[in-house]
Structure formats: structure tokens, C-alpha cells
Structure 1
């Protein structure tokens, strides 16, 4: 009769299994993405140039957008403005100035609600309602969208893709909406929130031009000038995508054209 002897696992093996479990938990989103086909928005791009995408979200407010437009005009910089359609409808002259100044108009939705809490039909209604308003006011074809609060899931991205949109996130967050002070906003962009190096070629920077972010007015000139000193150029996201070899993460599928009859 053969006797099977089970050895107690060593502390070393237990530690190794513990580390492996930690890694799987820490990177569960990436693991899920690989094995379940999770879709992703565009966080950044891979480019052979020194270009960086400059973006501003606006969903409310009366005081911040115009000074930011003045700064961008003075600096000769063009950006993408992701606008909620109610704000755009209320501030049509500012939207038209954005277009006249050479900026790109993107959608920030209709209601400022988390799209991933809605059904596919409701998501489509939110996107198309905003599109009608934004295109009528701006005269531009609007096909970039930043989901309110950055909230997304497969349903949001697939619905937007069906309508001919690319969902745009960000890789550099100014955190200007927290009102940390102009110096902190500058540092967040140039050096990174966790000192990971800050904005670099192919990145997409998130600012706000809503009244929730008054620090942006003081921080923006310094950010523009210092990035220029480093050799970078600031451009709208649409232009950045046209210069890109690919987008990050890979699930954002730059090369795959959206299927839509609404182009």
C-alpha cells in the first residue's frame, strides 16, 4: 500500500501565493479587460511628435470660460472643449467664439448624469440630444464625447461607438475642480499627482472651465509656457488622434472605425 504524505506549505510558498493574489486583485481591471473583452475609452495616444491634447470640460458657470478663452487666444493655443448641451444652449455666443478662435467642440452629454447608470436607449438619447444642440450652435460635426464624471462601461462605449463617437478620457488630471490653488494645479500637470513625471507627448490633459475651477485661470499661462519650454505643443484631441499611431489602452481601438449611419 502506497502512503501519500502531504507536506505543510512553507512560509515562503505562502508568501509567494499571497503576493500573486495581491497582484491579481490590484490589477483586476486589466485582467478583466483581457479575458472579458472590456472596452475602454481613449486615455492617451502614442505619437511621434511632441503633441499633447489640451481639454476643458464645462457643465455650468458664468465666470471662468471667457477668461480661459482670452488666455488661449493670447498664447495662440487651440484646445477641445467638452460642453454639456444645456450650458452651450445658454451660452451660445461663447460657443461660437470657441469655434471662431479655432477650438474643437466635443460633447459632455446632455444631463450631467453617470451614463453607466442608464440603459442603452437612454444613453443614445443623451448623446444624440446633446449632439443636436452642439452641432446647431457650433456648426461643427461633433464626434468626440467625454462622459460626465468620466463614468463609463461597455454599454456606454459601445453605444457611443455605434453613433460614430470616440469616448475620450484623460491621462493627466489637473484636479482643478478641487480648488487646490494655482500652484498645485500647475504641479499636478507638470510633475504629476504622484510625481510620476507629468504631461508628456501623447497625453491628454484634463482641465475644467466651469466655475468650479477658478484656479485654472491663474495656472493655465504657466502650464502652457513651461510645456512649451520643454518642447511640447498643445493641440485639440481630434488633431492629436489624427497624428497618433495608436491609442492607450489597446482596448480603445483607434484603428477600428465606428460603424454608424450618423457620420
Structure 2
């Protein structure tokens, strides 16, 4: 009879590998996120409701936002407006109208630059400056951040979270800033494009209310009507997050 002696360290390593393999098999995405330490913003959520979030970014101009607000008011739909603080200071009356009509305000930063190119100190200063400006003008507590151009890295996410922000991206892109025409915008949102599906519960839709997206007011009524006919409730991001079971992708978080 042969007797085999197993080194305890080797045995321990072998058992650890088995445990890791088992974890990966059960929840592969979460393990990858933890191992890589890749922090993610919120693109969408899992929810049992029929809610979809509408969002509008504004960095310049005042012509587009007025008809958009008129449409939202007529359709009794509330949305989230991500505002750059210099625009908000210049267009204080429009900020007051946005809040008076029940919409949610989020931060789009102070400068329209990629936040992942800024040092931690400058990023903190810019986020705090924007937050103070937006809170003073809107009377709302600002807890949502959408980085300009959707640019982020671990440093942006961790710094924003430490300052009490949830970083918000989008899962449905209207591509309105490309000026593709109203019919294309409607199609992108309702039916999707290439491998992306159209809007469905838990999604966050990206629009722009800056003057750089002149097709949006023409496309918006049809989009709102169609989504309502499908039984969807159109809400601000904060409402969507409050009713979410969890956020997507793995590595993002409903709490900062």
C-alpha cells in the first residue's frame, strides 16, 4: 500500500482555488468587479416597476430648454436635469422654472471637461463649487452627478461617492447631440440601435436640452406618447433609484 503525504500549504491553496472557482461560477460579474477593483457608475437599475428615467444635460444655450419644459409640463412628466453650474448661474430664471415645475436637479460639473483628467484636489474643488451653486439656485440637495462626456475612472467614482454623489450614466442614448433628425431620435429611443434595445423598465434615457440638440423638442412628444402607451411611467432618476432592487452594472451602487 502506498502512502502519500500532502503538504498543508499546497492543500490549503488547492482548497482556496476550489472556493474561488465556485464563487466565480455562481456570480462571475461581481467577482470580476471585486478582483479588478473597477468602480462603475449607474447605467440602469433592476426594478419590478414600469418606471423609466428621463434625463437632460444642459451646458449652454436657452432656446432648447424652454420648449422641452413646455412639452414636459403639457404631458405631466417629471425628469432630471443635469446642469453645469456656470449655465445655472447665467440662466437662474430657467433653473427656478425647472425646479418650480417639479423636476429634479443633478450636477453636470463646473466645466465641461473630462473629469478623469483632473487631479483629485481640482476635482473636489470643482464638484463642491458646482454643488454649492446648484443648491443655492434650486433649493434642492444635489446628490446626483453626471460627468461631462460620460468620462470617468475609479478616482472620479470614489471621489464623487465620498462627497455624497451617485454617479449616473445612461442605458439608452438618444444621440440627439449628433443632430440625426427627430425620426432617428425617436427610433433610437423606442426601438434601439444595432445591439442596443429600446427603452424598457429600469432604463435611464439620455437627452440634451442644450442648443446643440435642436431635434429633441420635435422628437420628444412622440417619444413620451409612445412610452406611455406601452405602459411605462416616466420619472426622475431619484425616483427610479428609490424603487430599484439593485443597480447595473456590477460594481455600481445605489448608495454613494
TM beyond 0.5: yes
Aligned-pair Cα RMSD in Å: 1.5
In the alignment, the residues of structure 2 paired with residue 30 and residue 89 of structure 1 have an alpha-carbon distance, to the nearest angstrom, of 41
SS in 2 for 1:155: helix
Question: Which residue pairs with 1:137 in the alignment?
Answer: 137
SS in 2 for 1:223: helix
SS in 2 for 1:252: coil
1:231 to partner: Cα distance: 0.5
Question: Which residue pairs with 1:206 in the alignment?
Answer: 206
Question: Which residue pairs with 1:179 in the alignment?
Answer: 179
In the alignment, the residues of structure 2 paired with residue 197 and residue 150 of structure 1 have an alpha-carbon distance, to the nearest angstrom, of 20
In the alignment, the residues of structure 2 paired with residue 210 and residue 103 of structure 1 have an alpha-carbon distance, to the nearest angstrom, of 16
SS in 2 for 1:250: coil
Q: Size of the alignment, in residue pairs? A: 228
The Cα offsets for residues 103-136 of structure 1, whole Å up to 9 and x where unpaired, read as 0000000011100001111111111010011000
Question: Which residue pairs with 1:110 in the alignment?
Answer: 110
SS in 1 for 2:57: strand
Alignment of 1:50-69 (within 5 A): 50-69=50-69
Alignment of 1:18-33 (within 5 A): 33=33
Asked whether the equivalents of residues 54 and 237 of structure 2 are also in contact (C-alpha less than 8 Å), the reply is: yes
Cα distance 1:61–1:30, how it changes in 2: closer, same or farther (>3 A)? farther
Question: Which residue pairs with 2:152 in the alignment?
Answer: 152
Question: Which residue pairs with 1:79 in the alignment?
Answer: 79
1:34 to partner: Cα distance: 4.8
Asked whether the equivalents of residues 135 and 142 of structure 2 are also in contact (C-alpha less than 8 Å), the reply is: yes
Which 5+ residue runs of structure 2 have no aligned equivalent? 1-28
Question: Which residue pairs with 2:97 in the alignment?
Answer: 97
Question: Which residue pairs with 1:26 in the alignment?
Answer: none
Question: Which residue pairs with 1:194 in the alignment?
Answer: 194
Question: Which residue pairs with 1:245 in the alignment?
Answer: 245
SS in 1 for 2:61: coil
1:32 to partner: Cα distance: 6.6
* Deviant stretches of 4+, over 6 Å: 29-32
TM-score (norm 2): 0.86
Cα distance 1:30–1:175, how it changes in 2: closer, same or farther (>3 A)? farther
In the alignment, the residues of structure 2 paired with residue 93 and residue 227 of structure 1 have an alpha-carbon distance, to the nearest angstrom, of 30
Question: Which residue pairs with 1:220 in the alignment?
Answer: 220
In the alignment, the residues of structure 2 paired with residue 227 and residue 149 of structure 1 have an alpha-carbon distance, to the nearest angstrom, of 26
1:248 to partner: Cα distance: 0.1
SS in 2 for 1:158: helix
The Cα offsets for residues 12-69 of structure 1, whole Å up to 9 and x where unpaired, read as xxxxxxxxxxxxxxxxx99974531100000000110100010000000121001100
Which 5+ residue runs of structure 1 have no aligned equivalent? 1-28, 259-263
In the alignment, the residues of structure 1 paired with residue 196 and residue 39 of structure 2 have an alpha-carbon distance, to the nearest angstrom, of 25
In the alignment, the residues of structure 2 paired with residue 148 and residue 61 of structure 1 have an alpha-carbon distance, to the nearest angstrom, of 16
Cα distance 1:195–1:227, how it changes in 2: closer, same or farther (>3 A)? farther
In the alignment, the residues of structure 2 paired with residue 81 and residue 72 of structure 1 have an alpha-carbon distance, to the nearest angstrom, of 12
1:140 to partner: Cα distance: 0.4
TM-score (norm 1): 0.84
